[in-house]
Amino acid sequence: MEQSLEQVIQSVFDHVIEYRRDFHKYPEVGWTEFRTASKIARRLSELGYAVELGKSVIRKESRMGLPSELELEAHYERALEQGADTAFLDDLKGGYTGVVGTLKFGEGPVVALRFDIDALKVNECKEDNHFPAKAGFLSINEGVMHSCGHDTHAAIGLGVAEAIVKLGDKHFSAGTLKLVFQPAEEGVRGAKSMVDAGVLDDVDYVISGHMMAMKSGVLVCGAGGFMATTKLDVTYKGLSAHAGAGPQEGKNSMLAACSAVLNLNAIPRHAEGASRVNVGLLQAGSDRNVIAEDSFMKLEIRGETNAINQYVEAYALRIIKSAAQMHDVRFEIQQMGAAPSGKPTQELVSRIQRVSEKLGVFDDIQEWSDDATGSEDFMYMMNHVQDQGGQGAYFIVGSDKVTGHHTSNFDIQEADVIKAVHLYVGLVDDLLA
Amino acid sequence: MEQSLEQVIQSVFDHVIEYRRDFHKYPEVGWTEFRTASKIARRLSELGYAVELGKSVIRKESRMGLPSELELEAHYERALEQGADTAFLDDLKGGYTGVVGTLKFGEGPVVALRFDIDALKVNECKEDNHFPAKAGFLSINEGVMHSCGHDTHAAIGLGVAEAIVKLGDKHFSAGTLKLVFQPAEEGVRGAKSMVDAGVLDDVDYVISGHMMAMKSGVLVCGAGGFMATTKLDVTYKGLSAHAGAGPQEGKNSMLAACSAVLNLNAIPRHAEGASRVNVGLLQAGSDRNVIAEDSFMKLEIRGETNAINQYVEAYALRIIKSAAQMHDVRFEIQQMGAAPSGKPTQELVSRIQRVSEKLGVFDDIQEWSDDATGSEDFMYMMNHVQDQGGQGAYFIVGSDKVTGHHTSNFDIQEADVIKAVHLYVGLVDDLLA
Amino acid sequence: MEQSLEQVIQSVFDHVIEYRRDFHKYPEVGWTEFRTASKIARRLSELGYAVELGKSVIRKESRMGLPSELELEAHYERALEQGADTAFLDDLKGGYTGVVGTLKFGEGPVVALRFDIDALKVNECKEDNHFPAKAGFLSINEGVMHSCGHDTHAAIGLGVAEAIVKLGDKHFSAGTLKLVFQPAEEGVRGAKSMVDAGVLDDVDYVISGHMMAMKSGVLVCGAGGFMATTKLDVTYKGLSAHAGAGPQEGKNSMLAACSAVLNLNAIPRHAEGASRVNVGLLQAGSDRNVIAEDSFMKLEIRGETNAINQYVEAYALRIIKSAAQMHDVRFEIQQMGAAPSGKPTQELVSRIQRVSEKLGVFDDIQEWSDDATGSEDFMYMMNHVQDQGGQGAYFIVGSDKVTGHHTSNFDIQEADVIKAVHLYVGLVDDLLA
Amino acid sequence: MEQSLEQVIQSVFDHVIEYRRDFHKYPEVGWTEFRTASKIARRLSELGYAVELGKSVIRKESRMGLPSELELEAHYERALEQGADTAFLDDLKGGYTGVVGTLKFGEGPVVALRFDIDALKVNECKEDNHFPAKAGFLSINEGVMHSCGHDTHAAIGLGVAEAIVKLGDKHFSAGTLKLVFQPAEEGVRGAKSMVDAGVLDDVDYVISGHMMAMKSGVLVCGAGGFMATTKLDVTYKGLSAHAGAGPQEGKNSMLAACSAVLNLNAIPRHAEGASRVNVGLLQAGSDRNVIAEDSFMKLEIRGETNAINQYVEAYALRIIKSAAQMHDVRFEIQQMGAAPSGKPTQELVSRIQRVSEKLGVFDDIQEWSDDATGSEDFMYMMNHVQDQGGQGAYFIVGSDKVTGHHTSNFDIQEADVIKAVHLYVGLVDDLLA
Among candidates C430, C428, C429, C433, which has minimal Cα distance to C112?
C428
How high is the pLDDT of residue B269?
96
- d(C-alpha C364, C-alpha C399), whole Å: 12
Q: Long-range contacts made by residues D4-8, C-beta under 8 angstroms, separation at least 24?
A: D5/D167, D5/D422, D5/D425, D5/D426, D5/D429, D8/D163, D8/D166, D8/D167, D8/D425
B224: Cα separation from own chain's centroid: 16
Could you tell me what percent of chain A has a pLDDT over 90?
A: 94
Average of pLDDT values for B366-385?
91
- d(C-alpha C50, C-alpha C34), whole Å: 19
Among candidates A271, C224, A311, C231, which has minimal Cα distance to B245?
A271
Q: What residues are paired with B423 via a beta bridge?
A: none
Q: Chain C: nearest CA to A298, how far in angstroms? A: 17
Segment (H or E) for D232: strand D228-237
B107 has a pLDDT exceeding 60: yes
Q: In chain B, which residue's Cα lies nearest the Cα of D227?
A: B271
A98 has a pLDDT exceeding 60: yes
Average of pLDDT values for A355-363?
95
CA angle centred on A284, ends A278 and A286, rounded to 5°: 160
**C330-368: per-residue pLDDT in tens?**
999 999 999 999 999 999 999 999 999 999 999 999 999
Average pLDDT of chain A is 96
- d(C-alpha C253, C-alpha B278), whole Å: 12
- d(C-alpha C330, C-alpha C257), whole Å: 11
- d(C-alpha C216, C-alpha C213), whole Å: 8
How high is the pLDDT of residue A222?
95
D386: Cα separation from own chain's centroid: 20
Task: Kindly list the residues of chain A whose beta carbon comes within 8 Å of any beta carbon in chain D.
Answer: 187, 227, 229, 231, 242-247, 252, 254-255, 257-259, 261-262, 265, 276, 278-292, 298-300, 302, 336, 373-375
Among candidates A306, A304, A312, which has minimal Cα distance to A372?
A304
Backbone angles phi, psi at A22, to 5 degrees: -65, -50
Per-residue pLDDT of chain D (433 residues; tens, 9 = 90+): 467 889 999 999 999 999 999 999 999 999 999 999 999 999 999 999 999 999 999 999 999 999 999 999 999 999 999 999 999 999 999 999 999 999 999 999 999 999 999 999 999 999 999 999 999 999 999 999 999 999 999 999 999 999 999 999 888 989 999 999 999 999 999 999 999 999 999 999 999 999 999 999 999 999 988 999 999 999 999 999 999 989 999 999 999 999 999 999 999 999 999 999 999 999 999 999 999 999 999 999 999 999 999 999 999 999 999 999 999 999 999 999 999 999 999 999 999 999 999 999 999 999 999 877 689 999 999 999 999 999 999 999 999 999 989 999 999 999 999 999 999 999 999 999 8
- Is B214:B364 a contact under the CB 8 Å cutoff? no
Interchain pair D268, B265: CB under 8 A: yes
Q: What residues are paired with B332 via a beta bridge?
A: B235
CA angle centred on C430, ends C427 and C433, rounded to 5°: 125
Cβ-based burial of B197 (10 A; exposed 0-12, middle 13-18, buried ≥19): buried
- d(C-alpha C367, C-alpha C351), whole Å: 10
Kindly give, in sequence order, each residue whose CB lies less than 8 Å from that of residue D37, ignoring residues fewer than 6 positions away.
Answer: D53, D88, D92, D97, D98, D99, D117, D181, D183
Kindly give, in sequence order, each residue whose CB lies less than 8 Å from that of residue D136, ignoring residues fewer than 6 positions away.
Answer: none
Interchain pair C266, A271: CB under 8 A: no
How would DSSP label each residue in C205-232? EEEEEEEEEE-TTEEEEEE--PPEEEEE
B173 has a pLDDT exceeding 90: no
B1 has a pLDDT exceeding 50: no
Partners of B315 on chain D (C-beta within 8 Å) are none
Interchain pair C263, D263: CB under 8 A: no
Task: Kindly list the residues of chain D whose beta carbon comes within 8 Å of any beta carbon in chain A.
Answer: 187, 227, 229, 231, 242-247, 252, 254-255, 257-259, 261-262, 265, 276, 278-292, 298-300, 302, 336, 373-375
Residue C1's pLDDT band, with cuts at 50, 70 and 90, is very low
- Is B24:B139 a contact under the CB 8 Å cutoff? yes
- d(C-alpha B83, C-alpha B42), whole Å: 12
- d(C-alpha D292, C-alpha A298), whole Å: 11
Q: What residues are paired with B232 via a beta bridge?
A: B299, B335
Partners of A275 on chain C (C-beta within 8 Å) are 269
Q: Where are any strands of DSSP class E within A245-291?
A: 275-285
Cβ-based burial of D56 (10 A; exposed 0-12, middle 13-18, buried ≥19): middle
**C377-433: per-residue pLDDT in tens?**
999 999 999 999 999 999 999 999 999 899 999 999 999 999 999 999 999 999 998
**A387-422: per-residue pLDDT in tens?**
999 999 999 999 999 998 999 999 999 999 999 999
Write down the pTM of the prediction: 0.94
How high is the pLDDT of residue D2?
60
Among candidates C309, C303, C280, which has minimal Cα distance to C373?
C303
- d(C-alpha D234, C-alpha A134), whole Å: 44
Kindly give, in sequence order, each residue whose CB lies less than 8 Å from that of residue B46, ignoring residues fewer than 6 positions away.
Answer: none
Residue C2's pLDDT band, with cuts at 50, 70 and 90, is low
How high is the pLDDT of residue A2?
60
How high is the pLDDT of residue B2?
60
ipTM over 0.85: yes
The CA–CA distances, whole Å, from C121 to C182, C373, D410 equal 18, 21, 74
Segment (H or E) for A52: strand A50-53
- d(C-alpha C255, C-alpha C261), whole Å: 10
How high is the pLDDT of residue D370?
85
Average of pLDDT values for C133-139?
97
Residue B433's pLDDT band, with cuts at 50, 70 and 90, is confident
Average of pLDDT values for C274-287?
96
Task: Kindly list the residues of chain B whose beta carbon comes within 8 Å of any beta carbon in chain A.
Answer: 244-248, 250, 252, 255, 259, 262-263, 266, 268-272, 291, 311, 315, 318-319, 321-323, 325-328
- d(C-alpha D168, C-alpha D162), whole Å: 10
**A126-181: per-residue pLDDT in tens?**
999 999 999 999 999 999 999 999 999 999 999 999 999 999 988 898 999 999 99
Q: Chain D: nearest CA to B271, how far in angstroms? A: 8
How high is the pLDDT of residue B225?
85
The CA–CA distances, whole Å, from D322 to B40, B430, C15, D252 equal 58, 63, 60, 14
Among candidates B120, B155, B183, which has minimal Cα distance to B407?
B120
Which candidate in C278, C290, C296 is best for mutational testing of the B interface (most B CBs within 10 A)? C278
Average of pLDDT values for B33-44?
98
- Is B330:B236 a contact under the CB 8 Å cutoff? yes
- d(C-alpha B261, C-alpha C241), whole Å: 17
- Lowest mean pLDDT segment, chosen from A201-210, A239-248, D251-260: A239-248
- d(C-alpha C66, C-alpha D173), whole Å: 88
Q: What subunits make at least 3 CB pairs under 8 angstroms with B? A: A, C, D
Could you tell me what percent of chain B has a pLDDT over 70?
A: 99
Average of pLDDT values for B21-44?
98
A1 has a pLDDT exceeding 50: no
Partners of C266 on chain D (C-beta within 8 Å) are 255
Interchain pair B271, A319: CB under 8 A: no
Q: Where are any strands of DSSP class E within B170-293?
A: 176-182, 205-214, 218-223, 228-237, 275-285
